[in-house]
Homo-oligomer: A and B are copies of this chain.
Amino acid sequence: MRNIKMTIEYDGGRYLGWQRLSDSDKTIQGKIENVLSAMTGDKIEIIGSGRTDAGAHANGQVANFKTIATMEFPAMLDHLNRYLPRDIIVKKLEEVPERFHARYNANGKKYSYYVWNNPVPSVFERNFSYDYPGELDIAKMNEACNKLVGKHDFIGFSSLKKSKKSTVRTIDEIKIQKEGDLLHFTFTGEGFLYKMIRIIMGTIIEIGLGMTEPEAIDAIFKSGIRSDAGMTVPSQGLFLDEVYYD
């Protein structure tokens, strides 16, 4: 049995997210599984490194699947990209050991979030960023980011209910770069809770605007209450850039 690792790029704008639902045609996983199943003649299930939200994008999502198909990689890649919709591309295929599992073996991820910080929107960026024209204090936002980096219980920055599963995560780095009118936020860490990056972004933006101070971060860690944090920013600015494996 071959175990095949895929690196996948998608514009998530038209989809209900990564994870297959009963209506497989509206998810990235569903689209890829359908093409793989038709290609191999077997019902293929793929294991993604994790879900991405409805409307969110990826430059480097990773998934794996097992197959007895003997097709070689160049032909398989051609076939996939010919039959996948234009907004999903498999960038790379690699043979991996049978025990490789795209979710269990992932030991880190990098995400980007883009804010278009100009009162006039951009035709080319508007589907891939959050239009936020307000004046943002980058120094204050960096201060907030420094407080977020490290090992913390991020329950207040997630839409999860209290549960037995740990909500402690470690963020290794948050970077803010100004690229013309785009503000590019990069998050690197071992893993992120459901909606965590979008809620962190909403909180950082409120701090950048001066609505609250960077110290608000400490208070949210302390209370663990979702409503103490900022809004959930739209998914269209979010990209899964990379998944790390040993």
Contact residues of A with B, CB < 8 Å?
9-11, 57, 77, 81, 86-92, 120-124, 126, 128
Contact = CB atoms under 8 A, between A and B. Distances in A.
A91 B77 contact: no
Nearest to A239: B124
A121 B10 CA distance: 11
A86 B120 contact: no
A11 B87 CA distance: 16
Contacts of A124: 9, 11, 57, 128
A93 to B, nearest CB: 10
Contacts of A128: 124
A122 B58 CA distance: 11
A214 B190 CA distance: 52
A89 B122 contact: yes
Nearest to A9: B123
20 contacts: A9-B122, A9-B123, A10-B123, A11-B123, A11-B124, A57-B124, A77-B120, A81-B120, A81-B121, A86-B123, A86-B126, A87-B123, A88-B123, A89-B120, A89-B121, A89-B122, A89-B123, A90-B120, A91-B120, A124-B128
Contacts of A123: 9-11, 86-89
Contacts of A57: 124
A62 to B, nearest CB: 15
A184 to B, nearest CB: 14
**Across the A-B interface, the 5 shortest Cβ-Cβ residue pairs:** A9-B123, A11-B123, A89-B123, A91-B120, A87-B123
A66 B26 CA distance: 47
A128 B122 CA distance: 14
A78 to B, nearest CB: 9
Contacts of A81: 120-121
Contacts of A11: 123-124
Contacts of A126: 86
A193 B11 CA distance: 35
Contacts of A10: 123
Given A10-B123, A87-B123, A89-B122, 16 more contacts: A9-B122, A9-B123, A9-B124, A11-B123, A57-B124, A77-B120, A81-B120, A86-B123, A88-B123, A89-B120, A89-B121, A89-B123, A90-B120, A91-B120, A92-B120, A124-B128
A86 B236 CA distance: 15
